[in-house]
Structure 1
């Protein structure tokens, strides 16, 4: 009888443990489901049949409030989001080589202000400063001189595995003194475009309307080198492209376009 009672108690205990484990798993599943179903801050009726489309758009680029009292947690995953701050609306972008926060709109001083915290703009590069790319830009300048009078182009990519920049030559399909077309290379999963640079040959460096159109919607540093011909005055133009927003970057022309010394 004692053996039977002991066997019954063991079976009961094992059964209770199984039930407890099942209930714990169920609770976790319910919590995850509730988290996924958490309503977004979208001004639409919950029963609107098109709400899932807006929810998907919201999830791809959410809008969050900057905390006034708690510590601000920066974006850690690759992507972007909009920040509602006391000063106005900011955009925050994360790439393997970049973390940036820039103001999009400023609130009217006389108007109502949301009860949110302040945020400071920042541009943080994984490779430290843009000067880290100067050796690659100098190499490109030499290639661009060799391509005169036509334009030339190249990419400088960030290698996440090696934690360093790398020069990537492009296959140029067509090049003239006023235009260039090239095939966009397929990058490895650990590579991402950091700097897109092209030359204007003998002409001055500037961003044309075509450059604006090409750079809109991308996240990268864009650069132009000009005045590369013999006797020309070297010039450069650089900017950070943020999904249609352009932030000018100061780069000294003499550091990039070194004029070859006479033999």
Structure 2
């Protein structure tokens, strides 16, 4: 077997984020193992581009991160992108609970997390400790979760303002894997505004639809 790095630290980093060329015929046992893993990440290289493969207990994500390489590669296809919620869609009652909490906090901003237990399959809402809240500023503590619990959604409000991701949000989301949601126009009970994205490995990806059951396309 080829040794990819003689430096122990570099070898550990490469093992944590391996790269798999896609065989033109047959299968790649290493990539197959990653695709069904509870957690892990790697890069697949094919004749049609480069795909980031990420697995978390609650998420299975395959996303193209580079177009086809110009040089000829005797490789197979990386396949189609996907983003599947392994935890399933979040029951809409949790969204209603979060929005009620946000409206009660008006005119100030507020925050909530939706978490999921991989052992029991149950969801829960975590309302964090708020250190400072105004109509335009929010400082809160990210919760430390017990074993088997995973953060699925990081949600905060902009009160009566519009829904968008700020530069502060971009910095906070840069190193996390989560669904990020922002709600605004909360003084319009029937028509709050929502901005959404999937955060992973420094990327922000559009959500094709709401992560909540009964939802339509994501905003």
Q: TM-score range by the shorter chain?
A: 0.7 to 0.9
Q: What is the correspondence of 1:183-194 to structure 2 with a 5 Å cutoff?
A: 183-194=141-152
Change (3 A) 1:216 1:75: farther
Relative contact order, higher structure (CA 8 A, sep 6+): 2
Cα distance between partner residues in 2 of 1:40 and 1:137: 49
Q: Does the CA contact (< 8 Å) of 2:132 and 2:138 recur in 1?
A: yes
Cα distance between partner residues in 2 of 1:147 and 1:208: 20
Q: Does the CA contact (< 8 Å) of 2:133 and 2:139 recur in 1?
A: yes
Q: Which residue of 2 aligns with 1:10?
A: none
RMSD: 2.2
- Of 45, 67, 75, 1:116 maps to 75
Change (3 A) 1:124 1:215: same
TM-score scaled to structure 1, two decimals? 0.72
| Greater share of residues in helix | 1
Provide structure 2 residue ranges, at least 5 long, that are not aligned to the other structure: none
Q: Does the CA contact (< 8 Å) of 1:79 and 1:95 recur in 2?
A: yes
Secondary structure at the aligned position of 1:54 is classed as helix
Cα distance between partner residues in 1 of 2:106 and 2:20: 49
Tell me the matched-pair count. 207
1:40-65 Cα offsets, whole Å, 9 max, x none, are 445xxx5xxxx222212101211112
- Of 38, 47, 57, 1:86 maps to 47
How far residue 168 of structure 1 moved from its aligned partner, in angstroms, is 1.4
Provide structure 1 residue ranges, at least 5 long, that are not aligned to the other structure: 1-37, 257-263
Q: Does 1:128 align with 2:127?
A: no
Find the structure with the greater CA-based Rg. 1
- Of 68, 71, 79, 2:24 maps to 68
- Of 42, 59, 68, 2:15 maps to 59
Cα distance between partner residues in 2 of 1:144 and 1:81: 38
